[in-house]
Amino acid sequence: MKKSLVGLTVFILLLLSDFNFAQKPDWIIGGRLGISIASSTAGLQIGPMAEIKFNRNMSVGTEFNINTQTGTPIEWANYFKYYIDVIGSKVKPYVNGGFNLVFVTGGPYFGIRFGGGVNFPVAPRISIPADLQFGPIFASGSSVFYVAITSGIRYAL
């Protein structure tokens, strides 16, 4: 027990040592468009997103997505994102995880999202992502597995 507490403390200190609080946070805004699959039905997903990059490799963000499946589910997703450095490349792969609320008839329902993707730069402040998100949505009495394959546009302010 004591060793795990020491290990957790060391991990948190190492994580915090990479933060540069004097750095001005970078805002990224944009939108997403793609396919979402839930309850074995597919639909179009579209929505805006905002993200604040508080470190060279870390950010938190939120999305508000509208889906075209039965009942027109609306998803509000919040996540933590970690960008992976690729030496000698401008491509920025990332992994992320967080939670979502899905507003649909009989809901809102809570879900957990995991995923990742790659941002492909097309201009100095503009990138195009290829993104995959998945995870369970806990509906009343059951759970639904959610998958979204999307792209979009990102603009760094």
CATH number (domain holding residue 30): 2.40.160.20
Q: Is residue 13 part of a domain?
A: no
Q: Domain of residue 116: give its range.
A: 23-156
Would you say residue 8 lies in a domain? Answer: no
Q: Does some domain include residue 16?
A: no
pTM beyond 0.85, yes or no: no
Give the C-alpha separation, 109 to 119, whole Å.
29
In a domain, 14, yes or no: no
The owner of tokens 């030496």 is 87
Q: How far apart are CA 107 and CA 140, in angstroms?
A: 8
Asked whether residue 64 is domain-assigned, the answer is yes
- The reply to whether 6 falls in a domain is no
Q: Tell me, what's the pLDDT at 8?
A: 56
- Per-residue pLDDT tens digits for 6-63: 555 555 544 544 555 545 678 999 999 999 998 788 999 999 999 999 888 999 999 9
What is the tally of structural domains in the chain?
1
